[in-house]
Structure 1
Amino acid sequence: MDAFLLALILTFLIALGGREQMIIAQFSSATDRNVPLLIIGVACAIATAAVMAYAGSTMAEILPRRAAEMLVAFALIAGAVELAWPVKIKPMKEPTRSYVAIGAVLIFRQMQDAARFAIFALAAWAVFPTTALLGGVIASVAAVVLGWSLGAETLRKMPLRTIRLVFAFCMGIAGAVIGLNARFQFL
């Protein structure tokens, strides 16, 4: 249950203002919030969350306990770096209507975003990684639906950059503490 709640809350909060959410919002605004775009976004969110949860749990199973803790620390620090990186989405001159192209872009962006690194880390940490997967999937879908429903203009008005920097700092500290604990075993 802990992994489910942590994955649910953290993945949603970390995904706020992320590249994938901004891309969905931009396409949603340009295409008058059509439902196939939402379906593609939800399918991509489910697929990438499942891949990262599976990868995290599988890698943690084959590693010794302290090495698995270090893997969690690296994933959190990678997520912190991605969160701190500014999100710059170029305005579209003519949006594509190809859902395959939109899906490919979303999968590429989602596989390298901080929310998926958090799912990876929580699945590697959890006793039952399925709970981290379920929490991550629900939160990822909620973030996509939020971006789709609000649109690009509304998201640009929110202080998402500040929120992302605060979470980047918190994720970096968590990753450093977990990494130091794995190395020196002080907690």
Structure 2
Amino acid sequence: MPSLFLALIASALAMLGTRQARLVAHLSGLLGGNAGLLTVCWMTSIVTTTAVAWGGSALAPLMPPAGKTMFVAAALAAAGLELAWPMRKAPPREPTQSLGAIALVLLTGQLTDAARFLVLALGVATAHWQLASVGGVLGSGAVLTMAWSLGSEWETRLPLRAVRLALAAAFVIAAVVVGMTARGIMG
């Protein structure tokens, strides 16, 4: 059960600052809160989160315990760097307003976002990749649902830059602590 709750919390926090949440909010404002968009959000979250959690479980037997811990540290650092990377000023345009095109963009973006890095790490570190997957889907889906419901108000209601930078710093600090623990520098 800890892997479910860790994945849920980590995914929700990491998803708050992602480009995908911003894109969903923008598209929701553009499409008027289309229910199809919400369905696409949940479906892409299910597919990407399950894929990375399973991938983590496939990598786990190949790693020694210290290697798993270092992998978690690397995933935390990658998540922090992804959140620290600046976003474009203007959200991208969606000329076709096609749910298929939106799904493809969300799928590719989510495969490398901070939330998926953390679920991948939990898939490696824990024996319960299915629970990590469920937690990741619930956390990511909840944030995307919130972005969808707020629509164009997403960026005005949340201080996204400050959230992104605070989360990036927290993930990088956690990466340093976990890495130092894995190397035996911190006990």
TM over 0.5, shorter chain: yes
SS of corresponding position for 2:22:
helix
Residue 179 of structure 1 corresponds to: 179
User: Residues 34 and 172 from structure 1, CA distance in 2 versus in 1: closer, same or farther, beyond 3 angstroms?
Assistant: same
* Aligned residue identity for 2:63: L
SS of corresponding position for 2:173:
helix
* Aligned residue identity for 2:133: L
- Find the aligned partners of 2:57 and 2:37 in 1 and give their Cα distance: 30
Structure 1 residue 139 corresponds to structure 2 residue 123? no
Structure 1 residue 2 corresponds to structure 2 residue 2? yes
Question: How far is 1:97 from its partner?
Answer: 2.1
- Find the aligned partners of 1:155 and 1:166 in 2 and give their Cα distance: 16
Question: How far is 1:87 from its partner?
Answer: 2.3
Residue 29 of structure 2 corresponds to: 29
Contact kept, 8 Å, 1:9 with 1:139, in 2: the verdict is: yes
CA deviation profile, 1:46-84 (whole Å, cap 9, x unmatched): 111111111122212211111111111111100010011
- Find the aligned partners of 1:94 and 1:13 in 2 and give their Cα distance: 26
Question: How far is 1:185 from its partner?
Answer: 6.0
Query: What's the TM-score, normalizing by structure 1?
Result: 0.92
Contact kept, 8 Å, 1:30 with 1:95, in 2: the verdict is: no
Hey, which bits of structure 1, 4+ residues long, moved more than 6 A?
A: none
Residue 115 of structure 1 corresponds to: 115
Residues 1-187 of structure 1 correspond to what in structure 2 (within 5 A)? 1-88=1-88, 90-92=90-92, 95-184=95-184, 186-187=186-187
Query: What's the TM-score, normalizing by structure 2?
Result: 0.92
CA deviation profile, 1:74-120 (whole Å, cap 9, x unmatched): 11100010011122263455642221111111011111111111111
Contact kept, 8 Å, 1:96 with 1:102, in 2: the verdict is: no
Q: Structure 2: which 5+ residue stretches go unaligned?
A: none
- Find the aligned partners of 1:113 and 1:87 in 2 and give their Cα distance: 13
CA deviation profile, 1:113-166 (whole Å, cap 9, x unmatched): 111111111222223222211111111111111111111333344212112211
Q: What is the number of equivalent residue pairs in this alignment? A: 187
User: Residues 19 and 89 from structure 1, CA distance in 2 versus in 1: closer, same or farther, beyond 3 angstroms?
Assistant: farther
Identity %: 39
Contact kept, 8 Å, 1:119 with 1:133, in 2: the verdict is: yes
Question: How far is 1:39 from its partner?
Answer: 0.9
User: Residues 115 and 94 from structure 1, CA distance in 2 versus in 1: closer, same or farther, beyond 3 angstroms?
Assistant: closer
User: Residues 133 and 89 from structure 1, CA distance in 2 versus in 1: closer, same or farther, beyond 3 angstroms?
Assistant: farther
